[in-house]
Amino acid sequence: MTATGGAPPETGRSSAARRAVRAAGVLAAVAFVALLAYGLLTKAPDSTIDDALSRGEAVAAPGFALDALASGRPAGRAGATWRRAAADGEVALGELRGTPLVINFWASWCDPCRAEAKVLERAWRAAAPRGVLFVGLDAQDATEDARDFIGQFGLTFPHVRDPGNATQRAWGVTGLPETFFLTAGGRVVGHVIGTVDDAQLRDGIAAARAGRPRGADRGGEQRPTG
């Protein structure tokens, strides 16, 4: 007898195979989009600081714990704070609490960083007697190159080193140099994107000491980071 109704076994198997291929293709596409989104999110810098400053609000600084690169010659109360923090060779931002801070992101390969080095040193020497601590944050750099840079420009404020770019992303840094101004309580009140000048440093330091947000400013040149 000949069976009636239904598809031949071969046709049924072929349809199932096509459905499986389509399903696999959809899953692969979904996985690709998810990976792309994940990559963009993990590589994108955090904009929290500038968003808050644009609203006239101070924001808690992202923490870090980084190797001390150079201790410089900080004096007075700010110097004592730095020495305690760096005693074990690693400096955590929270260990500097109680001192207004100027944090400058830089690297030896960054030409604009070279252009602003003397400006920073001059401002540091003027601000140090008032209890303000400058900290250079060297990023994505070779240790010896960074130390050569510090020596070449005679920088006497202390520095820490991040061999990667995780700290930059957490702070929303998109290029070098960038400078942040923090109150003694560890809140960011100012940000300069690009090379900083004397007036911006004076205003930023005043804001850090007073605890008054002054926003984010565009400075001079900078080099993009990866």
Sort strands 178-182 and 187-193 into parallel, antiparallel or unpaired: antiparallel
What is the domain count for the chain? 2
User: What is the pTM (predicted TM-score) of this model?
Assistant: 0.80
| Cα–Cα distance measured from residue 11 to residue 152, given in angstroms and rounded to the nearest whole number | 78
Residues shown for the chain: 226
Query: Is the domain of 166 the same as that of 141?
Result: yes
Query: Is the domain of 62 the same as that of 22?
Result: no
Query: Is the domain of 27 the same as that of 88?
Result: no
Query: Is the domain of 118 the same as that of 195?
Result: yes
Sort strands 133-139 and 101-106 into parallel, antiparallel or unpaired: parallel
Joined tokens for residue 99: 């001192």
Query: Is the domain of 29 the same as that of 95?
Result: no
Residue 29, in any domain of the structure? yes
- Asked if 209 and 132 touch (Cβ cutoff 8 Å), the reply is yes
| Cα–Cα distance measured from residue 216 to residue 147, given in angstroms and rounded to the nearest whole number | 29
Residue 108, in any domain of the structure? yes
Query: Is the domain of 197 the same as that of 112?
Result: yes
What one-letter code names the amino acid at 89? G
Residues of the chain with pLDDT under 50: 1-4, 7, 21, 23-24, 26-43
Q: Give the domain extent around 34.
A: 7-44
| Cα–Cα distance measured from residue 72 to residue 138, given in angstroms and rounded to the nearest whole number | 14
Query: Is the domain of 72 the same as that of 145?
Result: yes
pLDDT digits (tens, 9 = 90+) for 7-53: 455 555 555 555 554 544 544 443 333 333 333 334 456 789 999 99
Residue 2, in any domain of the structure? no
| Strand, coil or helix: 24 | helix
CATH of the domain at 120: 3.40.30.10
What one-letter code names the amino acid at 33? V
Could you tell me which of 182, 189, 198 has the C-alpha nearest to residue 137? 182
Q: What is the DSSP letter of 138?
A: E
User: ω into residue 177 within 30 of 0, thus cis?
Assistant: yes
Residue 120, in any domain of the structure? yes
Residue 1, in any domain of the structure? no
Query: Is the domain of 104 the same as that of 145?
Result: yes
Query: Is the domain of 92 the same as that of 21?
Result: no
Residue 104, in any domain of the structure? yes
